[in-house]
Amino acid sequence: MKRRHLRGIGLAALILTLLAPSAIADAITEPRSDFYQSHYEACTYVGRTYVAAGYDGKVQLLTSPVNFTVVAEYENGTELWISFTWEDGEGYLWGAYDNYSADKGKVGWLPMDDLTLKYDSAQFAEAHQNELLQNTGLYPEGDRALVYTYPSSGEYQELTEDRDYMPFSEAFSDSSLYIDEAGRSWVSISYYMGRRDGWICVDDPLNETLNTGFVEPGQSAAQQRGASTIGGMNGTAANRWQITLIAVALVALVLLITLLAVKRFYPKKK
Amino acid sequence: MGIWIFGVLTSALLLTLVAELTFALLWRIKRRDLPLVALANLITNPAVVLCHYLARIYAPSMALPVTILLELGAVAAEGYLYRSRGKTIRRPCLFALCANALSYGLGLILF
């Protein structure tokens, strides 16, 4: 009986150990925003990097979609990782931004119309879905490789093999294969030791100069429209509160006058 | 909340008036009480629509229960007015319920 219990505990420990990497991989970072805390049910997880692309050369990080206090400003071209989005009653989509390391304390919300999606592995896979093949055993030689954001993007991070975690020979067994114009083979990696969604050139895994496939970020909705997003939202937060107060006062006035009219023209039945 | 709210309030009120007055005629309510139907809607509709949008903007997770409560409140208020002040409105509470269900359904389709 005792032995069976021990076996059960051992099996549970093994299962937990096997699940641990995927649990880490699936961890979602939540923004430290009061607005997020009170609206998390209506927020949608995004978890992608965007590029600041405001109409007037910058974007403003605001306290929340209903409080337009400016927390920070970012020049166009700044990369911002958006964790969640929230849509307001006027149809504007807002992105939550929280930079824990480089910009301490800077947490807030940006209009998504002022951002443009940074071309990444997901967009690459979507654009080249007909050219992607199933990897049939290719993996980088050696214990180091450069993980590019997408093939020949010019942007990479170094990856070192950790055989205790997972040897390279196994890490790429279920990945996609892409062959670029120069005939180089690239294999995708969804997650390995904190690195996620990238591509490795198996023919030349340490080449730092592969940048011919770089895709410039597109125009944001605000740039296409040719108008500031915040400016198009009927003014500032103070303005919006004024409009709300006017609407409430107007409705209350209509209600009062109508009640008096009902009393005057339709007296209670006896 | 932006200036758009005034357009929404006006269009919602006009739609409701057209729908509920037409329904009142079908319910065979006499001309004498038709203004009462219009006045009752003038009392409830702008308040319900405004509160609905305030909830949608400032407390989206509460928007549905708030809207249900508002609609029930509107039916109750209109039913009370029709019963206590209408002269030719048969089964006033049922009329209020059906008329509001109709206008709410139309609103869902059109907005």
Residue A237 has pLDDT above 70, yes or no: no
A80 inside domain? yes
> pLDDT category, B36, cuts 50, 70, 90?
very high
Q: Check residue B109 and give its pLDDT.
A: 83
**Cβ pair B79, B101 in contact under 8 A:** no
Q: Check residue A13 and give its pLDDT.
A: 45
Q: Which of residues 15-34 of B touch A (CB under 8 A)?
A: none
A176 inside domain? yes
Of B1, B36, B60, the CB nearest to A240: B1
Residues of chain B in contact with residue A262, where contact means CB-CB under 8 angstroms, are 36, 39-40, 43, 81, 85
Instruction: Tell which residue, A113, A116, A111, has the closest CA to residue A60.
Output: A111
Residue A251 has pLDDT above 50, yes or no: yes
Q: How many CB pairs under 8 A join A and B?
A: 77
Looking at chain A, the number of H-run helices and the number of E-run strands are 6, 13
A67 inside domain? yes
Look over chain A and give the mean of its residue pLDDT values, rounded to a whole number: 83
Please tell me the total count of domains within chain A: 2
- Tokens 């692309």 sit at which residue? A53
A266 inside domain? no
For B74, half-sphere exposure in the C-beta direction (CA atoms, 13 angstrom radius) is: 30
> Is residue A144 domain-shared with residue A167, that is, in the same domain?
yes
φ, ψ for residue A162, nearest 5 deg = -120, 100
A145 inside domain? yes
A144 inside domain? yes
Closest B-chain CA to A259: B43
Closest A-chain CA to B32: A266
Residue A26 has pLDDT above 50, yes or no: no
User: pTM of the prediction?
Assistant: 0.55
Residues of chain A in contact with residue B5, where contact means CB-CB under 8 angstroms, are 243-244, 247
Distance of residue B60 Cα from the nearest chain A Cα, in angstroms: 7
> pLDDT category, A200, cuts 50, 70, 90?
very high
* Domain limits for position A132: 3-11+121-201
Residue A95 has pLDDT above 60, yes or no: yes
Taking an 8 Å cut-off on Cβ atoms, the answer to whether A89 and B36 are in contact is no
**Cβ pair A107, A67 in contact under 8 A:** no
Q: Check residue A93 and give its pLDDT.
A: 93
Does any CB of chain A come closer than 8 Å to the CB of residue B75? Answer: no
Residues of chain A in contact with residue B14, where contact means CB-CB under 8 angstroms, are none
Residues of chain A in contact with residue B2, where contact means CB-CB under 8 angstroms, are 90, 233-235, 240, 243
The gap from C-alpha A239 to its chain's centroid, in whole angstroms, comes to 30
Residue B18 has pLDDT above 90, yes or no: yes
> Is residue A37 domain-shared with residue A110, that is, in the same domain?
yes
- CATH number, domain of A105, equals 2.30.30
A262 inside domain? no
**Cβ pair A195, A159 in contact under 8 A:** yes
> Is residue A143 domain-shared with residue A173, that is, in the same domain?
yes
